[in-house]
Structure 1
Amino acid sequence: MHLTFAHYRNRFCMFRTYYALARGMVKPDGFTISVIELPDPPSHEQEEALIRGDVQVANLYLPNFLRRKLEGAPIMGISTEWKSTMKGNGIFVLKDGPIKTPRDLTGRLIATHQGAHAIHRYLLKHHFGVDEKTLRWESHPQEELLDVLKGGRVDAVVLLDQFFFRGEKDPAARCLYTDGEIWKALRGFSEIIKHMVAVREPLLKEHPELREKLLKAFRTSFAYSEGHLDEIAAEFIKCYGGDREALLASARYPRIEFTFTDTERKLAEAEMDMLLEVGEIPGKAPISSLFAT
């Protein structure tokens, strides 16, 4: 049996996680696998490819997975993937600009790679008292966001992964807050599930053993990357460009374990509550109906 797995393009933490699997250095047990990259949000091509059956397994942005699954898509979660911690995702403004505190974002224009950002809308409302209905949003590719901010076209930007660390190094920008620190202050969790792994549900029903075999292959590929970050960063730069130091720094902070523990279950439930409140998902369902364990 041959499977195709898709992850988002131009994201170093994902590129490095699946590098060994993509290059054939890791061989799954009982099947072969190809690794491809597809556009990241706001594009929905990744989940569409999974739903259509063009790919059988995919890394998905959790809100997108929940929305499509709750709408009846034949997909099933098998684990978390990219979980952000205290660093790696934050709102940046001009260092010498008019935005001094998060409350100053009221009525301002914020750019992200996906348009209106559900998590930051929730955090700004509940922790900083910002009327999120006054916020204006627009979308740009991640690699353009810092220049969009520095060019004065927007008041703030959301930077993540390697782009977060480029923002930290840029003398013209500063980070107002990270989502991890504010989420912990509000809800007590030290992580936020950002991405997860989903499989076509009919395939998983026919081959329930695939869950553990896939997760073992993903963990092995990730373990390879831990000892070969310099090599993988060089390959990434050949494809996408970027700053080696920022790439390596960005690899330190996300937590990638390919698990679905009781704590992660509670975390997913809390995030589902948040996403329902901000209108990102149409309803709720028991976690057991969304993730196979």
Structure 2
Amino acid sequence: MRGEAGTVKRVAVVGAGTIGASWAAYFLSRGLEVVTSDPSPGAPDLVRRMVEEAWPILMRLGGKADADPKAWRFEADPVAAVAGADFVQESAPERLPIKQELLARLDAALPADVVISSSTSGLLASQLSANCAHPERVLIGHPFNPPHLIPLVEVVGGAKGCPEAVAAAMAFYRSIGKHPIEIRKEVPGHLANRLQAALWREAVHLVAEGVASVADVDAAISEGPGLRWALMGPHTTFHLAGGEGGMDHFLHHLLPALESWWLDLGDPKVNGAVQRMLVEGVAEGTGGATPAELARRRDAALVRLLEARKASG
């Protein structure tokens, strides 16, 4: 399988919406040739704008000095787009029939040693490859939004994926500066989205029960554990909470309290009233800022955070 450093020169990005365009910009910044494809007539302009806007940031965050922001082209036909590709990143709409039909077409057009990686945020790899002649090379390479900034990529081979394809994808993502993690068993939503969903479930419950406002629930994370989570995950965080005894001490002394909290976690019903509470609470907590403005602030802060993490080792 192609994927080791140096074996991937051209990447086909099939599906050039927000996620695909972000992927395209990132691949270009790592010195790769990119071919994009999307049925939308506005897709080429979206890719062009994304590359132009993200390029200065990508160069700050480790882009190759000789990378060419113009080393990409557009093909409306996805089969034409993958011709000669060494790696395929599929980012079509999150609808199983659409992805199954598209992936089957790409699979039929590509040599068997080219990995086809889907950006799906929750679908199963074994379902995506149901109509493929070579399902063993169809896997999931789920980025976190925005892909050109967030290092994480969840790699899932699933029930039909072969170890060689998983290893090739892991090696490829690692070689271009991403932080791939292998999800060893197929579950809806993969890993990180399930963790997010678990946290948000309790966040919604606390708002619905009147325990705290939307703004204060958000602040409880962004001004508290969220700062630590930018540096280490929940297991390591609790390892430190155990002091000199580490995780062993934490489990012996603090686990009973945590288990009692687990038993009290909520199961919210997000009816119309709760939905209004969330919509109005977010509007109040963000001061009425538009999603575009909030995303701009977030991305600017993410760049500074990534640079600080790199500087701190």
TM-score (norm 2): 0.26
Structure number having the greater strand percentage: 1
Which structure's CA Rg is the greater one? 2
From the two aligned structures, give the one with the greater helix fraction.
Answer: 2
